[in-house]
Structure 1
Amino acid sequence: MSLRQTLVSLPRDTRDTLFLLFATAWVIAPQVANLPGWASAMAFGMLLWRGWMAWRARPLPGRWLLTVLVIVAVAGTLLTHRTILGRDAGVTLMVMMLTFKTLELRARRDAMVVFFLGFFTMLSNFFFSQSLLTAAAMLVALLGLLMALVNAHMPVGRPPLLQTFRMAGTMALLGAPIMVALFMLFPRMSPLWGMPSDNLTGRSGLSGTMKIGDMAEIALDERVAIRLRFEGGPTDIPPQSTLYFRGPVMAAFDGRQWVAEPFREDSAWAARVAVPANLKTSGPAVRYEVTLEPQRQPWLMVLEATPEAPELPNMQAYMTQDLQWMTTRPITEALRYQAVSYPEFRHGPVESIRQLRVYTELPPGFNPRTLELAAQMRSDPALAGASTQALVNAVLQRLRTGGYNYSLEPGVFGEHTADEFWFYRKEGFCEHIASAFVVLMRAMDIPSRIVTGYQGGERNPVDGYWTVRNADAHAWAEVWMEGRGWVRVDPTGAVSPGRVGQFQRLRAPEGAIAAAMGTLSPGMVQTLRAVWEAVNNSWSQWVLNYSQSRQFDLLKALGFESPSWQDLSTVLGILIVIAASGGGLWTLWERSQHDPWLRLLARVRQRLAQAGLTLPETLPPRSMAQQVTAHFGDSASGVAAWLLRLEQVRYAPEPAQQFGALRREFNTLPWPPSVRGR
């Protein structure tokens, strides 16, 4: 017997139980990446065990075993999360309770508990991800749970799964308009998914410190960090080589890592580094809209340089003295804002001041050979009395011609990171190159610092948006020059010109799936990726970024001059009243229609009454057939046989098809002459 025949021959209860277990497994599957390993293994083990018991018709476990399982789950949650409260611990316990509840599916009430636990677990997937894939997977989960719920409310017969799918789909479609209205008009409370216990580690990979070698790991992350849409035509978009998104600025170096000291007006650091921004812009402005993915850090990503604060919803922004734009709280959800930048700019003091000395400091005892190299360059007759620009050019020339390479895996650097780069390894990622460059500049008594952020980006030809990924994270240098202020110098461009502006990124070795995709046409792969990015961007722009400001824009389009959340509540209330009234009218109409089987039986009584035989409404079809035969004789034998078949259909395992045939035969029955003539 084939698997399909085996599944068809299963008892109704076994089939419905297996379907509910499959829907439950689908709901839990996306949580595997967020659950502890023991919890995932235990959850799917319980579902498999429950499925085996249903398949073999084995008895369910006793309450003592369930009690032990609950104690183990609570203890495991406490050991893993150190609490049973909060998002992560709460989701772990909820998944455990859902799977344990399937082990006591003894009554319909137990099934209802499983359904509602399943719906809530389905919702908890959005605590961790609101991506388009997650939404699509949860839509399938919703249909699966609705189908299982429909099966539970159809205890008689053996309704096919296609029938329950149609009913579940109809229920979902009927609820869709209400869902859309609630989504568009329900007052936004931000952040919707944030919880106090959430991990606040930065997702973008950028942080307030830069340890030599850490940034190379970010190059493996292809997730989107920033999406941009430039205003104007193609000629208004800056060249790709000038797209520098400014992030944390590193000034303090301890020999192993660079640190972006927090700027506080009452701190000793502020007193030493209180260098005025003195930002002056020139040339045409670049206007653009940014969608910044949640990075759980307080800094904004804008193009260099942005003199005015970006327009943020429900949040304030301020600029530090090193041109870094910050927010008043970490960004925990996708944030969209408009900004205006000027690629041509100048900032910092144009004359030497005392505070610049901090940008020449180096930790003692580190990189002795780099210090010797700086002394040699300073004493070189060709560079005697040379300007800062000439010294920078000399170092960049050394990078171009000295056999240095741009590498994703240069190895682990030791104590003297700059020495290893300049004299031994001669290869590194952007932070190795930038750090070695700044150390050499400072050794020559030239104020310099490191800037981290993103560089470049890729334009999607489908929707015109620019995409900046975590893999585009970059580190470059700023050197102070007399009369010019801080000047951007990207030493990585000297080692690998293709890294800056040509979108030639280093990539990790491909896995089996990536290698298989590589066998396809490169143009096809690129097109598919662009289409997917465009669809995902539309989801992000119109769903995830549907903010309160957009709700107010909708009300303005409806005629409200100065919309507020009270207006949102009013419009939403009116729609709810209309929907409730429509639902009530539909319910009254549905009640008047009764059961289709009863309606057909009422038509039979009406026909027989017209022929002179009046029968009570409580008479079943079998008794009606006996009365018809006794009153009309053999001339009504066809009607009597039809009534007997109608009674059989009422209790048949699959009545839908047979009932339809009986309804079609109704008008062709051999009714008594007094009935046919009417």
Structure 2
Amino acid sequence: MSLTTLPRDTRDTLFLLAVIAWVVMMQIGHIPWWCTALAFGILGWRTVLSWRGAALPGWFPRLVLLALTLGATWMTHRTILGRDAGVTLIVVLLALKTLEMRARRDAFVVFFLAFFTLLTHFFYSQSLLTAGGFLLALRGLLTALVKAHMPVGGPPLRRVAGIATGMAALGLPVMLVLFLLFPRMAPLWGVPGSETLGRSGLSEEMRVGEIAELVLNEDIAFRVKFDGEVPPQGAMYFRGPVLGDFDGVRWRPQRSAFPPAMALPVDLRLEGEPVRYEVTLEPQRRPWLFVLEATAQAPDLPGLQPTMTRDLQWKTTRPIFEMVRYRAESHPRFSHGPRESMLGLQDYLELPPGFNPRTLALAQELRRQTGAGPDAAPAALAAGIERLRTGGYAYTLEPGVFGQHAADEFWFDRREGFCEHIASSFVILMRAMDIPARVVTGYQGGEINAIDGYWVVRQRDAHAWAEIWLSGQGWVRVDPTAAVAQWRIGSLDRLRPAPGALAGLVGTLDPTLLAQMRAVWDAVNNRWNQWVLNYTQGQQLDLLRRLGLSSPQWTDLLYALLAVLVLASLTGAAWQLWERQQHDPWLRLLDKARRELARQGLQDNAQLPPRALAEKVLRHFGDTPFARDVKQWLLRLERWRYGKERESSLATLREDFRRLPWRAKDPR
């Protein structure tokens, strides 16, 4: 049996199942494997039943599948509530609902359940690709919905798809008005996530030696648009969490044992001209704002109230679950922290006992060579950098798993690691030489997109470096990775991921062409981010300011939206009235008859329908041939509009109207 010979209802069902399969397929990356298998298994079963014209299963098999779904959801998520568990359930319930789709009412339930499932995609991604897949699924669902309202023998699928597309196009103005004016509020709920070990990026702590292989993460962390001159790439350090507490394995933010009154002062000292720029930060589920070192003034981000910690990290009042855009001003030349020794610096000399004995011995040896005391600290620092530069150390993304004494293994055994190993081992060495030191994490460098001029900083650009305290200077940035692999810091040839499964398919393409294609795609995505995803309440208020409001509030957005809706309704009503009067040939012919009767002396008939007007003609002119002819013509005009059958065409009525004796001065 071919598809064209199947009954109309069967073909409609198969089309709807195909659309639902596309909706489910978009969720594959966000639902458990068993959910994907179960959903497609149910859809396949329903497809076979439709093709064969077999009966649908009864309530017992559906109940068993529902019980299995609830149990598997609980085993996977340990709950049946929340975002992930809810999406898992809604996907399977959508597939299960197709097994009881017997009447049109059931089909409509499936339609609207599919629309709801489609919306859940935006819980996980609002990218341009997701929007494209969403629009394709939306067009398919609208086509299936329109087709369900068509009678048997309706138009072909292509024409129905055109009708659905036209319906969607008619809704575009409403969508645009709501997009521009509906008040943008903060997220109603957070979207928690989990960290992935072995994947480049930032976290709240740094674990040294537990990752055997680092997988480069190509996800974009943020984009930067500089206003004027761009600083050298080697100077692009975007500051993140500062880690000073070390337990032998993990670095965490410093928790000082000293009272707050003895805390180290910020004492930020800026030099030179500032660098001004705009950052578009991707959702990160943390309250961190990344700015170039160092930024004294709060980034311009209304609603989140950025504050700076004592170690120069900028944070917001809540985690960032949506894309945000902010402006900042930084001074690449700066110094900070106390210039004279303070008791609070002791926190940055602490080392856990029982770890890295060979590193401690190395520190004592270097100390004997360079001398002791604060004045010898620069020489000790230089000795540590020189050892990294000349000791045969290497940068690698496959360092292997380190043991308990990770710094010892780095300095004496493996002599290789990535930035976390190098920075951690260097800070431990400095502390062992009685030099206050800490680890700073963030992002370094990035790559420029020649299409739109934005610097793109990816998760693979996550970096760790050291800050050393020197007497008379304060905290000084020292990047030990630069002594091992200068290309990692100052070169445009950044870290690249290993070739994947598609490498064989694209290996024959020109690398320059591939780079240009990627740049174009990044630029298009950036425009989508800037003008759609990052259209915030601040930009809405800026729109009202451009329209003339001096100090708009979010309530003004509601008033503006209401005004637009009222204006659109009045305009639509006026247009409909004008259209009926100007473009309805029946109304034009009736209006022509009213004007002619008014010329004959019959006034005040503008609102009368044809039948009432005919009775008025008979009363006004009496039972004359003229009055009877006009009455009969008006009744025929009424039957043409409202009767079950039309006894004559509108052209005939128009011709008969011209034959009436309208020119007679006195029809009597």
Structure 2-normalised TM-score?
0.84
1:101-123 Cα shifts (integer Å, max 9, x gaps): 11111111111111111111111
1:310-364 Cα shifts (integer Å, max 9, x gaps): 1112111211111111112111111111111000101011111121122111111
Equivalent positions of 1:230-629 (< 5 A) are 230-232=226-228, 236-261=229-254, 268=257, 271=260, 274-380=263-369, 387-581=376-570
Residue of structure 2 in register with 1:639 after alignment? none
Query: 1:214 and 1:165 mapped to 2: Cα distance?
Result: 55
Contact 1:396 1:494 in 2 (8 A): yes
Residue of structure 1 in register with 2:618 after alignment? none
1:26-76 Cα shifts (integer Å, max 9, x gaps): 112121111122211111111111111111111111122222222222222
Contact 1:438 1:449 in 2 (8 A): yes
Structure 2 counterpart of 1:113, one-letter code: V
Task: Report the 3-state secondary structure (helix = DSSP H, G, I; strand = E; otherwise coil) of the residue aligned with 2:171.
Answer: helix
Residue 116 of structure 1 pairs with residue 112 of structure 2: yes
Are residues 529 and 230 of structure 1, via their aligned partners in 2, closer, same or farther at CA, if it must alter by over 3 Å? Answer: same
Structure 1 counterpart of 2:268, one-letter code: L
Task: Report the 3-state secondary structure (helix = DSSP H, G, I; strand = E; otherwise coil) of the residue aligned with 1:337.
Answer: strand
Are residues 216 and 552 of structure 1, via their aligned partners in 2, closer, same or farther at CA, if it must alter by over 3 Å? Answer: farther
Structure 1 counterpart of 2:480, one-letter code: P
1:620-659 Cα shifts (integer Å, max 9, x gaps): 79xx9xxx9xxxxxxxxxxxxxx9xxxxxxxxxxxxxxxx
Contact 1:219 1:472 in 2 (8 A): no
Residue of structure 2 in register with 1:74 after alignment? 70
1:562-619 Cα shifts (integer Å, max 9, x gaps): 22222211221122223344555777899999999xxxxxxxxxxxx99xx9998667
Query: 2:419 and 2:426 mapped to 1: Cα distance?
Result: 10
Q: What is the CA-CA distance between 1:88 and the residue it aligns to? A: 1.5
1:425-460 Cα shifts (integer Å, max 9, x gaps): 010000111111111111111111110000001111
Structure 1 moving runs of 4+ over 6 Å? 214-218, 381-386, 585-596, 613-621
Residue of structure 2 in register with 1:199 after alignment? 193
Structure 2 counterpart of 1:241, one-letter code: G
Query: 1:9 and 1:589 mapped to 2: Cα distance?
Result: 48
1:389-421 Cα shifts (integer Å, max 9, x gaps): 222222111111111110000110111011100
Structure 1 counterpart of 2:51, one-letter code: W
Contact 2:56 2:99 in 1 (8 A): yes
Task: Report the 3-state secondary structure (helix = DSSP H, G, I; strand = E; otherwise coil) of the residue aligned with 1:388.
Answer: helix
Q: Which runs of 5+ in 2 are unaligned?
A: 586-631, 660-668
- Shifted more, 138-147 versus 366-375: the winner is 366-375
Contact 2:410 2:417 in 1 (8 A): yes
Residue 135 of structure 1 pairs with residue 131 of structure 2: yes
Contact 2:220 2:459 in 1 (8 A): yes
Task: Report the 3-state secondary structure (helix = DSSP H, G, I; strand = E; otherwise coil) of the residue aligned with 2:477.
Answer: strand
- The equivalent position to 1:39 in structure 2, one of 25, 28, 35, is 35
Are residues 22 and 582 of structure 1, via their aligned partners in 2, closer, same or farther at CA, if it must alter by over 3 Å? Answer: farther
1:474-509 Cα shifts (integer Å, max 9, x gaps): 000011111111111100000001000213434342
Task: Report the 3-state secondary structure (helix = DSSP H, G, I; strand = E; otherwise coil) of the residue aligned with 2:279.
Answer: strand
Residue of structure 1 in register with 2:5 after alignment? 9
Are residues 310 and 474 of structure 1, via their aligned partners in 2, closer, same or farther at CA, if it must alter by over 3 Å? Answer: same
Q: Which runs of 5+ in 1 are unaligned?
A: 597-608, 629-642, 644-665
Contact 2:209 2:249 in 1 (8 A): no
Contact 2:214 2:397 in 1 (8 A): no
Query: 2:173 and 2:375 mapped to 1: Cα distance?
Result: 72
Aligned length: 604
Equivalent positions of 1:52-91 (< 5 A) are 52-91=48-87
Query: 1:141 and 1:428 mapped to 2: Cα distance?
Result: 47
Q: What is the CA-CA distance between 1:83 and the residue it aligns to? A: 2.4
Query: 1:214 and 1:163 mapped to 2: Cα distance?
Result: 60
Task: Report the 3-state secondary structure (helix = DSSP H, G, I; strand = E; otherwise coil) of the residue aligned with 1:99.
Answer: helix
Contact 1:204 1:295 in 2 (8 A): no
Contact 1:215 1:473 in 2 (8 A): no
Structure 1 counterpart of 2:466, one-letter code: A
Structure 2 counterpart of 1:79, one-letter code: M
Contact 1:383 1:390 in 2 (8 A): no
Structure 1 counterpart of 2:298, one-letter code: A
Identity of aligned residues (%): 57
Q: What is the CA-CA distance between 1:137 and the residue it aligns to? A: 0.5
Structure 2 counterpart of 1:17, one-letter code: T
Structure 2 counterpart of 1:510, one-letter code: P
- Shifted more, 72-81 versus 471-480: the winner is 72-81
Q: What is the CA-CA distance between 1:531 and the residue it aligns to? A: 0.5
Residue 151 of structure 1 pairs with residue 147 of structure 2: yes
Residue 166 of structure 1 pairs with residue 136 of structure 2: no
Contact 1:493 1:500 in 2 (8 A): yes
Q: What is the CA-CA distance between 1:14 and the residue it aligns to? A: 1.4
Task: Report the 3-state secondary structure (helix = DSSP H, G, I; strand = E; otherwise coil) of the residue aligned with 1:268.
Answer: coil
Query: 1:371 and 1:333 mapped to 2: Cα distance?
Result: 45
Are residues 379 and 404 of structure 1, via their aligned partners in 2, closer, same or farther at CA, if it must alter by over 3 Å? Answer: same
Task: Report the 3-state secondary structure (helix = DSSP H, G, I; strand = E; otherwise coil) of the residue aligned with 1:351.
Answer: coil
Structure 1-normalised TM-score?
0.83
Query: 1:21 and 1:269 mapped to 2: Cα distance?
Result: 66
Query: 2:639 and 2:471 mapped to 1: Cα distance?
Result: 108
- Shifted more, 553-562 versus 182-191: the winner is 553-562
Query: 1:585 and 1:20 mapped to 2: Cα distance?
Result: 39
Question: What is the Cα-based RMSD across aligned positions, in Å?
Answer: 3.1
